[in-house]
A and B are shown apart, each in its own frame.
Chain A
Amino acid sequence: MSRLPVADRGTVRRALLDMISRHRRAVGVVLTLHSAAAVAGLAPPWLLGTIVDRVTAGAGVATVDRLALAIAGCVLVSALLSRYAQYAGHRFGERAVAELREEFVSRTLGLPVSVVERAGSGDLATRSSVDVSTVGTTVRDVVPTIVIATVQLTLLFGAVFLLHPLLGLAALAGLPSIVAVTRWYLRRASSAYLTEGAAAAELTETLTTTAEGARTVEALRLADERVRHGTTRITLVWRARRATLALRTVFFSVVEASYPLPVAMVLLVGGYLLTRDMVSLGAVVAAALYLQQAIDPLDRLLQWTEQAQRGFASYARVLGVGMVAPEPPGTTASSRGERLVVRGARFSYSDGPDVLHGIDLEVQPGERLAVVGPSGAGKSTLARLLAGIDAPRQGVVSIGGCPVTDLDPAERRRRIALVTQEHHVFIGSVRDNLSFAAPDATDDQMRAALLTVGAEWFAELPDDLDTQLGDGARQLGAAEAQQLALARLVLADPHTLILDEATAALDPSTARRTERALAAVLVGRTVIAIAHRLNTAHDADRVAVLADGRITEIGSHDELVAAGGAYAALWRSWHTRVDER
């Protein structure tokens, strides 16, 4: 199983900058409001310093009242400003996250199917749920917090410098150790959190698949096995989390021990300056209070650094999906003719051995070709090559003289449809499940399409085309789902159909009904039917026998039977069983 890629740091950074520059104005508003809020927040210690000085100088109650009222005013203003700053930040975050998840889904939809199949759907599913929402939290909450904290810190330290430059210098004590340990931590944190995320993803997958296969768990009494499997995953998650905790232990100890250093230094230096009458007592008190106040944003900054790391890690995983080369858009918009030609096609999955060893095949428009052969001979792989889902490792598959993989994917799907036995009913209405095959289809056309494929169950649906299907709503059976898929096909109206055991999952009588209905759809189209049932082959114009990734026989049914090869033997074995009396 090859996991989907994860973006490197540079890519993530560029993507972040890109996001910010796209929302320049919103970011500007958020920054301005937060800065204003932070300035208003700076006033209380300074006002207190003033109170200390005035009271020491013998000021009266009226002065104190005025200054205290000013403090209250500053608090209110600061809170109001930060509320609007936060709301603006929240809106920005929601917008950015919506963009992000939409882009993610759009990228996911653009993924070559083969990549997704190999990476496992769990990985992609976790990225779409956990990671997208972690990035969401990061953008919505963490980034604003970091921004606020940075603004506040800058202002606080700036204020100490303004009180007296020497006090400012003293305030910087403690920063070296914080910077050093932060660098140490950040170097290690990213990979540790990625490991943690991957472990969590596997645990989620275990839970989800256990739910999906609940009936099988009961039938095969796999409960203990599932619990054992899951417990291993839980242990792995625990271990990964312990590793990240160890990192934090070092980090936080050093950081927190460094917090009082600036205050201590400012008091010492302040004491020295005070004896020389270079500063007032109020100034030293204000400086100490500012630094005491700086602990909170500093703490938040460092605490959220870790969260930001987490978000960064998730973002890397989200972006990783976009790093898979999407299905190439195709160099040719259209091709002339519908003649399907395969020349010397070889194919292997990843680095495995070749599954197809040089296939040569020509299919005329309107021809019906049946491909038969034992399981594992490479029939489905051939179907995928013909449909352009995979590109041959060597050789070419072309339609009307143009390689199918060069066609624009949307265009290709309009022309060549691949129907497999795999069926999926999407969450949504019956209409939602049909319309994507032909966006312009009217309701009547959809109903007609359902009738064509013999979907009699449709008449019993409570809300006609609006009946909701899938998860939590009405569940369709395998046969019904396959009929829905075939109705899609009727609507899509492609000129070439590749049926990869399209009716194999159906029970025989439904399959028979569906096949009869399908026959009407097949008229006038090129049909390549991958079949394990010989009756399909019997009726085809030509039959290709595929064995071990090679076409061993090709010709009409009668020719092949007359030739007395493997096909003839198969045909006889099927027939005698039926006719033996």
Chain B
Amino acid sequence: MRYLWWLVRCQPWRVLRGSLLGTAWMIGLAARPYLIARAVDDGLRARDTRALALWVAAIVVAGVGLSYLGIMRHRTMTFIREDAKARSAEVLLRHLSRIGAALPRRVGAGEVSTIGGSDIDWTAQVLTLTGPGVGAVVAYGVIAVVLWSISPMLALCVLLGVPVVGLVVGPLLRRLERAESVYRQQQGALTARSGDIVAGLRVLAGVGGRDLFTRRYAARSQELRAEGYRVGAVNSWIDAATVAIPGLFLAAVVWLTARMAVTGDVTIGELVAVYGYVATLIVPVWFLLEGSHQLIRGRVAARRIADLLTVTPDDVGGPGRRWPDAVPEPRRPDAVPEPRRPGGLAVPDGPADLHDPVTGLTVRAGRLTGVAADDPAEALALADRLGRYVVSGVTWGGVPLRDVALDEVRARILVADHDSYLFAGTLRDILRAGADDDEERIGAALRTASAQDVVDALPAGLDTPIDARARTLSGGQRQRLRLARALHGEPEVLILIDPTSAVDAHTEARIADRLHSARAGRTTVLIATSPLLLGRADLVAHLNGGRITATGSHADLLDRDPAYRHLVARGSEEAYR
């Protein structure tokens, strides 16, 4: 609800204009019955052709005026909705961009797709209430006043009728909300499933199983249909109520007025006018009912958006980020405020050694350190600690890494995941990754990653658009692009995880040589078991059973450490048979 209110407050003047136009338009609707009544009374009944022509002309003019009000209202409301949609999309976008590594742990990608695909729209739809919704309330009042001038009893009837509508429809709407939210959940799950199928099409094409998936999806779809029937049963009653309640109301009012006409308290023209007014009332009543309908749906949608917005970035145990629009950190009540170190102390000014007390690994500043791990999970955990994706006791130049502002860590230490994401965009966009667009540096990074052939093979070179995940490229090509992208950032500390596992031996050897010279003087950690890569490292550490068991040059370790030799020479002696 707060979120909805925020969307309104973002555009106060537009909303005000929408309310005014909505009100004017709805009141304008009531003008026609009045004019028709005058035409009947003064023109038709009096057989006065001049008066008839005059009132008919008034009807036409009023129609044109009303059409102007109507379209202006529509334009304003559309702008309000579009503004809300754009704003929601932007807020979500900013937030999604900022949450970072914590996001996949908390929210499924399918959910984001549902929120982006439809919840934004549902939420924006609620803002329609600000225009016609407000207008409906005012129009209702105005018509009641007009009726009062004809007969106070009629007006009373109208004023009492409104709460009756609310009392009858209220419980139905609440039932609808429950049914609707179950339906929406199932619909979201079903959408996630079809998205899942789309994502897994390649697998299905390789192994088969399309029929089974078709059947499985169909079964879910049938469940949703049954749920839809239940929602429909409720929905149709609500809709019937929107027809019946104003209609019965109309009948009652007509009955009262007709009795007055019999006794001569009102004229025939007034009888027709009252009929017209109350018939016109259907519009505001409909808007209010429809509006509460939309409000229900929109609130569910807005809650989902708001929930997503409350997912906070993980500060991984230390001083947070210095992003200007950072969300205030949620404070645990039991947390003892830690003494903050003065900022200057907490940051190593230049290249410094990284030390991981868990494994005992020390990464020397300015050197290329190879880490060969028996258990890859340990290597990944090590990378997460060194890059502060988890809370740990890693020190950087003697300073606990968790005491350094996180965005400083991110700016200076880059963990290049083996499967880091490739976003849609031109190849140049992908490679420069937010950094500057320097042709030479991109070229250099491509050369180091031995990826120039990837660019050369594309129709428009660096300007070729690539879709998300670069699915059209081969695994080896993607891996080299990822490497080039990581290198292009020229981070102070670069932690590469298996950067060449999908490229052929020849290319790997070339990358190993180039990597060493490209990163000369900078700190690089290379997690790999390939002899080609490790052979070019300044120093190699063997991570075995959670500890660094040996450190030395590749050749050294081959001599001294049989387990290491066994690890890096996998397969060449021991064949797969």
Contacts and interface: CB of A to CB of B under 8 A. Distances in A.
Interface stretch (B269-277, B328-336, B359-367): B269-277
Interface stretch (A69-77, A161-169, A332-340, A356-364): A69-77
Contact of B258 (A55, A271, A575): A55
A128 B44 contact: no
Contact of A207 (B82, B92, B276, B485): B92
A517 to B, nearest CB: 10
B163 interface: no
B576 A519 contact: yes
Interface stretch (B14-22, B154-162, B234-242, B338-346): B234-242
Interface in B168-201: 187, 190-201
B36 to A, nearest CB: 6
Contacts of B501: 504-505, 507-508
Given A226-B93, A227-B94, A375-B504, A535 B477 contact: no
Given A101-B221, A209-B468, A267-B56, A256 B489 contact: no
Interface string A556-581: 00000000000000100111011011
A168 B569 CA distance: 94
A216 B47 contact: no
Contacts of A471: 108-111, 192, 196
Interface residues of B, number: 194
B258 A215 contact: no
B12 interface: no
B36 A68 contact: no
A497 B193 CA distance: 28
A404 interface: no
A128 B375 contact: no
Nearest to B189: A427
B298 interface: no
Given A227-B93, A424-B199, A98 B224 contact: yes
Given A211-B96, A426-B200, A507-B379, A108 B559 contact: no
Contacts, number: 589
Nearest to B411: A221
B472 interface: yes
Interface range for A: 35 or more
Contacts of B529: 507-509
B233 interface: yes
A538 B572 contact: yes
A10 interface: no
Given A68-B255, A539-B576, A207 B89 contact: yes
Contacts of A349: 472
A105 B197 contact: yes
Interface in B79-103: 79, 82, 85-86, 89-90, 92-94, 96-103
Contacts of A539: 575-577
A422 B203 contact: yes
Interface in A118-156: 118, 120-122, 124-126, 128-130, 132-133, 140
Contact of A101 (B194, B251, B475): B194
Contacts of B502: 375, 421, 501, 504-505, 532
Interface in A67-111: 67-69, 71-72, 75-76, 78-80, 82-84, 86-87, 90-91, 93-95, 97-98, 101-102, 104-106, 108-111
B295 interface: no
Nearest to A235: B86
A39 interface: no
A301 interface: no
Nearest to B508: A532
Contacts of A525: none
Contacts of A580: 535, 555, 558
A257 B67 contact: yes
A554 interface: no
B104 A215 contact: yes
B424 A508 contact: no
Contact of A376 (B39, B194, B453): B453
B420 A208 contact: no
A557 to B, nearest CB: 10
A459 to B, nearest CB: 16
Contacts of B115: 207
A104 B559 CA distance: 61
A510 interface: yes
A374 B504 contact: yes
B567 A389 contact: no
B483 interface: no
Query: A214, A289, A471, A578 — which one has the most chain B CB atoms within 10 A of its CB?
Result: A214
A52 B257 CA distance: 11
A80 B99 CA distance: 52
A193 B107 CA distance: 31
A113 B250 contact: no
Contacts of A252: 67, 70-71, 74
A581 B155 CA distance: 103
A215 B101 contact: yes
A105 B18 CA distance: 42
A416 to B, nearest CB: 9
A133 B251 contact: no
A51 B467 contact: no
Nearest to A478: B419
A325 interface: no
Interface string B541-569: 00000000000000100110000000111
B572 A535 contact: yes
Most B CB contacts (10 A, CB to CB) among A71, A224, A518 go to A71
B108 A423 contact: no
A410 interface: yes
A462 interface: no
Contact of A105 (B99, B113, B203, B214): B214
Interface in B400-428: 407, 410-411, 414-425
A211 B467 contact: no
Nearest to B63: A260
A218 interface: yes
Contacts of B507: 374-375
A248 to B, nearest CB: 7
Interface stretch (A21-29, A56-64, A182-190): A56-64
23 contacts: A44-B247, A79-B244, A105-B213, A130-B117, A205-B468, A207-B113, A208-B112, A210-B97, A219-B387, A219-B410, A220-B433, A229-B423, A263-B36, A274-B47, A374-B504, A418-B207, A421-B502, A426-B196, A426-B203, A507-B498, A535-B570, A580-B535, A581-B558
What are the 5 tightest A-B residue pairs by CB atom distance, in nearest-first order? A213-B421, A218-B100, A436-B209, A507-B376, A260-B63
